[in-house]
Every structure is written in C-alpha cells, then in structure tokens.
Amino acid sequence: MNVDAKKMHQIEIQEYQNLVDGIKPKPDVLKNCIWAFLVGGAICALGQLMLNYLLSLGMSRIDASSTVSCIMIFLAAFFTGIGIYDELGKRAGAGSIVPITGFANAIVASAMEYKREGYIFGVGARIFSVAGPTLVFGFAVAVLIGLIKVFLSS
C-alpha cells in the first residue's frame, strides 16, 4: 500500500514535469544562434568595410580603428533612438549586444527611460547604468595587467 502510494506520487511528479516541459516556451537555441551569428557577423563586416576604406585613404591603423568605433557608436545611438536597434535586438540577441554597437545601445536605451527624472540626474546618470559596470571592469583588468608589467620589468 505504502509502496503503491509512493509509486503513484512519482508518476504524478513525472506527468506534471512532462506537462510543464510541454507548455514552457523553449528558447530556440539553434535559431537564436543563427540570428546572433548572422547579425553579429554583419555588424563586424560593416566595421571592416569602413576600416578598409579609411586605410585605403592612408589613415594609420590606430586612427582608422578609433574612427570606425566612433561611427559605429554614432549609428547605434541613432538607430536606438528611432527604435530600430531594439527591434533588431529582439531577434539577434547576443548578435546585437556583443559588438560595440550593443554598448552604445545599452547607454541610450537605459538613459531614455529616465528622462522623467530630469536631464542631469535622470539621463546624465542613467547613461552609466550599464556602461558604468562595463568600464569599471575593463579598466580594473587593464590597470591590473599594467601593474603586473611594471612589477615584472622592475
């Protein structure tokens, strides 16, 4: 009797789990990955196209690289403003987050939401709600590596 009740209980749990798995929306990993690959690849290829053009004008590699970053950031800020970048992001996922355009998108998207709190402590502060942590960790690692180099070469 006791064993039977236990068995029944286990079957119920199993059935419930099957039901949940059937209803729960599955992240369509393969589809998401293809989108991320295509959109991320396209953004980088666009960057390479600009880079190659600037290099062909005789610009140095460092200057050309910085210029491309600035243009990409400008474009991302603009397309976030008119609402197109976030539409793209719904499908592209990491493909629109990982490139530097995703960094600019995070800045504009979070700042826009806080206009109500004013242009100084609303927009001005919220610009850094995602960009802040990113820069903190980037600089922390860079300074640490710099200090290791100072230490090793002394």
From 32, 60, 118, 121, residue interacting with other proteins (rule: CB under 8 A) = 32
Q: Of 93, 91, 92, 133, which is closest to residue 110 (Cα–Cα)?
A: 133
From 70, 117, 118, 121, residue interacting with other proteins (rule: CB under 8 A) = 70
Minimum Å gap between C-beta 8 and other proteins is: 30
DSSP summary character for residue 74: H
Q: Of 62, 65, 31, which is closest to residue 51 (Cα–Cα)?
A: 65
DSSP summary character for residue 98: S
**Is 54 a binder of other proteins (CB under 8 A)?**
no
**Is 42 a binder of other proteins (CB under 8 A)?**
yes
From 106, 117, 118, 121, residue interacting with other proteins (rule: CB under 8 A) = 106
**Is 52 a binder of other proteins (CB under 8 A)?**
yes
User: How far apart, in whole angstroms, are the C-alpha atoms of residue 117 and residue 113?
Assistant: 9
